[in-house]
A = this chain, B = another copy of it.
Amino acid sequence: MSHWEKVSALEVYSEHDLSDIGAVLEGHAEFCREQIAPLSRIGDTLGARFDKGRVTMPEGAARAYAQFVEMGWQALTHPVDYGGIGLPRAVGAAAVEMLNAADMSFGLCPLLTDGAIEALLLTGSDDQKATYLEPLIAGRWSGTMNLTEPQAGSDLGRVATKAVRRADGSYGITGTKIFITYGAHDLTENIIHLVLARAPDASQGPKGLSLFIVPQKLVEPDGTPGAANAVNCVSIEHKLGVRGSPTAVLDFADATGFLIGEENCGLEYMFIMMNAARFSVGVQGIAISERAYQRALAYARDRIQSRPVNGSAKDAVAIIEHPDVRRMLMRMRSLTEGGRAMAAATAGLLDIAHHQDHPEMAALAEFMVPLVKGFCSERAVEVASLGVQIHGGMGFIEETGAAQHYRDARILPIYEGTTAIQANDLLGRKVMRDGGATARLFAARIAETEATLARGDATAQAIGTSLAQARGAYEAALNWMLETGHKDIDASFAGSVPFLMLSGTLAAGWKLAKGALAAQTALDAGQNTQFMTRKIATALFFAQHILPECATEQTRILHGSRSLLDAAFPE
């Protein structure tokens, strides 16, 4: 049974006819294409503007956002109890991809709101849920994550924002937060900031942090936004990319905040929110990759330049005929579809883990999240760069559009935890903590796929051979990590990002291989020939061009730690 069949069978989705989910996504696709995609270049060119504490969004954003709310797209995957539509995350991931492919700057607002909803659902009190969830799920209000401070980026233990208890049970929040995506804007009636801060008697370090709801406008008893809270936007950043989205510096001047859950558990709660956001950032990577690919493909079909190298024509041909342009396009396509296959499977695991008591599925889902974030974000930078390259000199001209993807993509391996943070999460929490049990389960599942591939045709066998080699590299690296981790922690962390990239590449190649098997079954049944043939070709390319990178990562991990750790950086 496929993940999707398992997801469809979940009790919670029994009210939906998931066989017809394509129609919902078609509707979303049309909305994204018609209403959102045109914003991308406008937002990039005009940017969000800051004047005297107020942020004005680029032209067209307010109208598009109002339609987004009216059509209920924010509600897609959220619980029906609070006005949501209650569809699986596996469907939501596809919608998030389309929205961010249309305009990542726009997509960031709903993405952060999703994170706030997730955190409130899992850790908020009944009162808090009653107050905030409905307008957030409707999209009338938006959410933010307030973690970073100038001295506290990856190291949240250094957060200095203070939370002073007040007699009425609320807290006075004082401090400065930076890099707050959609921290200030004019799209919604209210903005619900989730803020990490420290009570006066709390310990230093990460275990003294608490999480607070700090509404931009305090909520009246009737549920409507009322008086302004003491949260001020000091400035917004001048960024490399996603210029249509405001990134705010927020000043909290004894702002009224409401504790979520218990004091000193803030980081734990924030991680719930962050895990959802990390997965979504991986999906943003797929989104940017897909948009960059579509643009490059269209250009490659259109642009006439040079005769074929094999002399098959006397006239210049479209550049898609040239082998190296095909190589770049196939690299873009296979990295994009590999990321998508892996994210879709992870979404399915998350749905199942969320609604069933299935510790193995839950552990695999947790294992996959840093892979989705790490692989899809790093690869998006590579794919967007190839997209520029295919355009030649035109790619360097901003009006062409390819350069914007290259700029936008660059934030993805940084925000919601850098690639190194993902790698630490993978190695520390997902691999070492259970002694490698989940990591070995992952490999065992891949070996099952290899066995099926071995019984297939020549193409399936070729994919299987590459997959087995890549899994071998992974297992060698895993064994080394499990042995080295306790003896020489520096050496194991020297290989953490290579291990993340090895695992992510293997996961993507595996999921594409499973897709190729499914495609062959469909082909044998005479279904959708062109699409299925393409899926198999993509999986084969990935197996022969991308999976071999796993062996290089293995070499780095096993033999490269000393040359890395011993090197000096003299003044």
Q: Which of A310, A316, A392, A424 has the most CB of B within 10 A?
A: A392
Inter-subunit contact A564/B154 (CB<8 Å): no
* Cβ of A370 to closest chain B Cβ, rounded Å: 14
Known interface pairs A418-B389, A569-B297; A397-B309 also in contact (CB < 8 Å): no
Residue of B nearest to A489 (CB): B310
Q: Which of B415, B493, B543, B567 touches A330 (beta carbons < 8 Å)?
A: B567
Flag whether A540 is at the interface (Cβ < 8 A).
yes
A interface bracket (residues with beta carbon within 8 Å of B): 35 or more
A158 at the interface (CB under 8 A from B): yes
Docked Cα-Cα span, A26 to B316, in Å, equals 50
Q: At the interface, yes or no: A568 with Cβ under 8 Å from chain B? A: yes
Name the residue of chain B whose CB is nearest to the CB of A406.
Answer: B410
Q: Please judge, given known A-B contacts A238-B398, A241-B396, A403-B410, whether A544 and B563 are in contact too, CB under 8 Å.
A: yes
Q: How far is the CA of A538 from the CA of B430 in the complex (A)?
A: 33
Instruction: Tell me which residues across on chain B come within 8 A of A179, comparing CB atoms.
Output: 393
Is A537's CB within 8 Å of the partner chain B? yes
State in angstroms the CA–CA spacing of A552 and B550 once bound together.
Answer: 9
In the complex, the answer to whether A323 meets B393 with C-beta atoms within 8 Å is: no
| Given A413-B389, A570-B534; A323-B493 close (CB under 8 Å) | yes
Q: Which of A321-348 contact B (CB under 8 A)?
A: 322-327, 329-330
Task: Of the listed stretches A12-20, A72-80, A441-449, A554-562, name the one at the interface; the rest are far from the partner chain.
Answer: A554-562
How far apart are A421's CB and chain B's nearest CB, in angstroms? 9
B contact residues around A555 at 8 Å (CB): 544, 548
Q: Is A320 an interface residue (CB 8 A)?
A: yes
A388 touching B410 by the CB < 8 A rule? Answer: yes
Q: Does A148 contact B (CB under 8 A)?
A: yes
Q: Which residues of the other chain, B, contact A548 by a CB distance below 8 angstroms?
A: 551-552, 555-556
Q: Which residues of B contact A543 (CB under 8 A)?
A: 563
Q: What would be 15 A-B contacts, judged by CB atoms less than 8 Å apart?
A: A238-B398, A239-B397, A240-B398, A240-B406, A309-B424, A324-B497, A326-B567, A327-B494, A381-B385, A392-B414, A537-B567, A541-B560, A544-B560, A545-B563, A548-B555
Q: Given A326-B567, A540-B563, list of 9 further CB < 8 A pairs?
A: A158-B305, A240-B397, A240-B407, A322-B493, A327-B564, A329-B569, A388-B410, A537-B566, A545-B560
